Amino acid sequence: MENSAAFQDFYPDAFSHCYGCGRSNPHGHHLKSRWDSQQPEQTLALHTVDPKFSGGVPGHVYGGMVASLLDCHGTASAAAFQYRQLERQWGDDGEPIRFVTGSLTVNFHQPTPIGVELAVRARLLKLDGRKCQLALTLGIGSGDNEQVFASGEMLAIQFKAS
Amino acid sequence: MENSAAFQDFYPDAFSHCYGCGRSNPHGHHLKSRWDSQQPEQTLALHTVDPKFSGGVPGHVYGGMVASLLDCHGTASAAAFQYRQLERQWGDDGEPIRFVTGSLTVNFHQPTPIGVELAVRARLLKLDGRKCQLALTLGIGSGDNEQVFASGEMLAIQFKAS
């Protein structure tokens, strides 16, 4: 799965500069979101945080980074759910589907460790026209062994090109 | 006001490594929060975002950065409101007061421009023991001329040292 194309790989060039997930930003996190092969109704991004993104106490991720990971994975996932709903494919000949964040709530349950591969997941709550509600988690492991450090909820809005 | 000590300048050394606001993190944003001299019941952090922290389209701030600014300013402000409530001073001989984020909601109203000095503000909603609720804004200008790009609400929890 790690070698398959990610949702962000299909973002149009003009919109590929995001520090969190844009392939054209040389400085950023380059988050990569895909369908979760283990839980195909969900999406998954795997990411190991660089130690420089420390919280106040070294060894843990700073809060803004947690929000960043949920935010970028959320908007990418909203587009993926819309592509699936419309029975379209990323990179097809149609108008590219992109979502922006309307609101994001992040609940911090426990400190998020640095130096381990984190799993960021999105589950669709509701897709109604241009509005997509998602449940998000950030943790390690999966299924019954998942340990969640932060969870969230996003309202994403499909961007109108014109 | 810009030359006065910021709340973050008083964080204990062991807790001064935050990428968002820690003086001991050489890579980070070094956000500085203070009482707002124009609206002394509020707090204010002024910050100009580096162009590398672009959103998908260059010229605007990526969503995670907006959340980061609100998050770091919020926890610093929660501590400031608690110091004030207890009639204590930053850097006094007592146990340092620190807050962590329980939950943060960010509402994105319009794209946040890069290259202008942003004003991040916090207003106290409720302070009840170790729980502090804050209203947050990120924008430019002040008072009747304030233009808000993002707003938020935070529940911050006072950290127990032992």
Note the ipTM here.
0.95
Average pLDDT over residues A66-90: 98
B161 has a pLDDT exceeding 80: no
Rounded CA separation B14/B96 (Å): 12
Average pLDDT over residues A140-152: 93
Q: Binning pLDDT at 50, 70 and 90, where does residue B57 land?
A: confident
Looking at the complex, does the CB of residue A20 fall below 8 Å from at least one CB of chain B?
A: yes
Q: What is the pLDDT of residue B22?
A: 97
Q: What is the pLDDT of residue B29?
A: 96
Q: What is the pLDDT of residue B118?
A: 98
A162 has a pLDDT exceeding 80: no
Rounded CA separation A47/A84 (Å): 24
Average pLDDT over residues A80-98: 97
- Global confidence as pTM: 0.96
Nearest CB to A25: which of B54, B75, B102? B54
Chain segment B77-91, per-residue pLDDT in tens = 999 999 999 999 999
Rounded CA separation B66/B88 (Å): 30
> CA of B147, closest CA in chain A: separation in Å?
17
Chain segment B4-23, per-residue pLDDT in tens = 899 999 999 999 999 999 99
Look at residue B81 and give its three-state secondary structure.
Answer: helix
Q: One-letter amino acid identity for B150?
A: A
Looking at the complex, does the CB of residue A49 fall below 8 Å from at least one CB of chain B?
A: no
Domain map (residue ranges) of chain A: 7-158
Phi and psi of B58, rounded to 5°?
A: -55, 150
* Contact state of A52 with B100 under an 8 Å Cβ cutoff: no
Chain segment B95-141, per-residue pLDDT in tens = 999 999 999 999 999 999 999 999 999 999 999 999 999 999 999 99
B150 has a pLDDT exceeding 60: yes
Rounded CA separation A28/B158 (Å): 32
* CATH top-level class of B7-158: alpha beta
Q: Scan for tokens 């146990």, then name that residue.
A: B95
**Strands of B117-128's sheet, edge to edge?**
A33-35, A43-48, A117-128, A131-140, A147-158, A99-108, B99-108, B147-158, B131-140, B117-128, B43-48, B33-35
> CA of B105, closest CA in chain A: separation in Å?
4
